[in-house]
Amino acid sequence: MVSPIPDFESFVVAFVTVSSTIFVAELTDKDALLLLALATKTKPWTVFAAGSTAFTITTAIIVSIGYVLLSFVPVVWIKIAGGTVMIGYAFWQYFFQKDDEREIEKEEQRLLKTGIASSSESNLEVNHGLATSPDTQAVGKQGRRGKKMAQRSRWSIFLGAVLLLVLLDLAGDATEVLTIVFVARYENLLLVFFGCVLALVSASAVETAIGNRLGKLLSIKRLKILSLAVFLIIGVLVLLGSLFPSAVPFF
């Protein structure tokens, strides 16, 4: 479903609304904790690639779900339900979401242990080869084997992070609700898909590029407070946009 946008200016406004709102929401969502934590302890490019891949997959799934919902549920009810869920999610995440944080920490440690174990194994092989082999060619073989093991460890972290992020998103995520709301609002799958992907990839870039600094600035408590404010504001705007379209035309 690709409904035409009246003019180029309206298209740009819609695209900016989708991408900017999803971007802000993602920076305060629960999977941001995982990306921030991983970015401080492993290679940022691996984390960024994992986040971008996972978010592209989940966005395609959620946009498709939104398209199916439009076939059965009126647009206004989707938007009202979306705004209500956003407000409820804000309070739930702030007051009741504790187990998810512990699960994220456990999964983070598991991913890092897997990568570290593989990396340590490769270093031991390289060091053993350097210590025991007088032959330069043999040392070179050990070095290449160590590089392969290190690469394998990065792949294990990458694939594990992609799987975990996909599961986190599909298990219930605020950006999912927003995506469906935007599908109902603009009725243009391509606009919403590319707007969301741009926002989520950009958020992944920010979280991985300045993971150390952002991780220190945004403690779990601060992130919860910011998340509460962001999702409350967005939820109220979505509700106002569904009940009074002329007052809040963007939602």
pLDDT tens for 225-240 read: 877 888 889 889 888 8
Which amino acid does the sequence have at 26?
E
Confidence of residue 35 (pLDDT cuts 50, 70, 90): confident
| Percent of the chain whose predicted confidence (pLDDT) is above 70 | 67
Residue in 109, 245, 131 with CA at minimum distance from that of residue 184:
245
For position 53, what pLDDT does the model report?
Answer: 92
Per-residue pLDDT, averaged over 206-213, amounts to: 70
Q: Which residue has the higher pLDDT, 58 or 217?
A: 58
Burial class (CB in 10 A: 0-12, 13-18, 19+), 233: middle
Structure tokens at 57: 């997959």
Closest alpha carbon to 165 in 213, 208, 212:
208
Confidence of residue 125 (pLDDT cuts 50, 70, 90): very low
How is the chain split into domains, by residue range? 8-113+174-243
Nearest to residue 40, comparing CAs of 224, 216, 167? 216
Mean pLDDT (the chain, rounded): 75
* Nearest Cα to Cα of residue 245 among 67, 101, 31, 80: 80
- Residue 155 above 90 pLDDT? no
Q: What six digits make up the tokens of 153?
A: 């460890």
User: 206 and 111 in contact (C-beta within 8 Å)?
Assistant: no
Judge whether 165 and 55 are in contact, CB under 8 Å.
Answer: yes
Name the pTM for this structure. 0.74
Among 33, 49, 77, 60, CA closest to 221: 33
User: 59 near 212, Cβ under 8 Å?
Assistant: no
List b or e across 115-152, with b for residues whose CB sees 16 or more CB atoms inside 10 angstroms. beebbeebeebbeebeeeeeeeeebeebeeebeebbee
pLDDT at residue 220, rounded to an integer: 63
pLDDT tens readout for residues 164-198? 888 877 776 778 888 999 998 888 899 999 999 99
